[in-house]
Amino acid sequence: MPYPPTRPRPPAAAPRASRFLLRFLQHCRVGSAALLLASVAAFAPAQAALPQPLQLNAADKALLAKVETYLNNQQGLTANFVQVSSDGVTRTGKAWLERPGKMRFEYNPPDKQLLVAGFGLLVYHDPELNQTTNIPLGSTPLGILLAKHVDLNSGGVEVTQISRQPGEDDITLVRKDKPAAGSLTLVFSTNPLELRQWVVDDAQGQETRVSLYDIQPGGPYPNSLFQYATSSTPIPSGGGG
């Protein structure tokens, strides 16, 4: 199955992979003190221009209901992915998603990094630097997608934009309690309805775009896929996204 036609960007010379993935975690708006301090300057102006909730019409509400039903009926999937950052750097790999709260991104060589969500945490590991970063999954935009029950029209999630084009519907979401922390845009094909892409934007306007292809519904998957440990001890059990 070919890559989806979702506005590709030209490849560029790749910076160090660990720097790219650490920036991806920053885009997810983590709760760690170090990353919070690193982004204080960027968040000051963002507070003055918070995204506004969209006034939903009947067609919007019908689309959200259809998408919610689709997402809540999906236990999990595997797919190949193409990940593109704002600077045009492109990476590829394989992804596993399982609701609630589980995700694994394995990057193709030469990248060796690993991104795992499970048991309430999002974990990034860089084997070259022997560094591991843990952040609460619920504090990231991806927690919306991996929630036990996806509700796009109430609760803690707010719709700020819906755009439609031939064969594609895009829905942009923020968390009500952290509207300046970043947004998540879900991109769906319309016939059949299928999640094809998501885009994470941070308060600085930096973007990480992930396109899925060769999608295979499935699950449940072994819990070991969603565990990472620096030793033999797994990630402690906790709530999902």
Cis omega (within 30 of 0) for bond into 110: yes
What is the pLDDT of the chain when averaged over all its residues?
75
Cα–Cα distances (Å) from 7 to 162, 187, 197, in that order, read 17, 12, 11
> In the chain, what percentage of residues exceed pLDDT 70?
73
Average pLDDT score over residue span 197-209: 85
Question: Starting at the edge strand that comes first in sequence, how are the strands of the sheet with 121-126 ordered?
Answer: 131-136, 121-126, 114-118, 102-107, 90-98, 76-85, 207-217, 193-201, 183-190, 168-175, 157-165
pLDDT (tens digit per residue) in 56-115 = 999 999 999 999 999 999 889 999 999 998 888 899 999 999 999 999 999 999 888 889
The confidence score (pLDDT) of residue 81 equals 95
By DSSP bridging, strand 183-190 and strand 168-175 are antiparallel
Average pLDDT score over residue span 202-219: 87
DSSP secondary structure letter of residue 117: E
Global pTM reads: 0.72
Write the class of the CATH domain 17-37+54-219.
mainly beta
The confidence score (pLDDT) of residue 216 equals 92
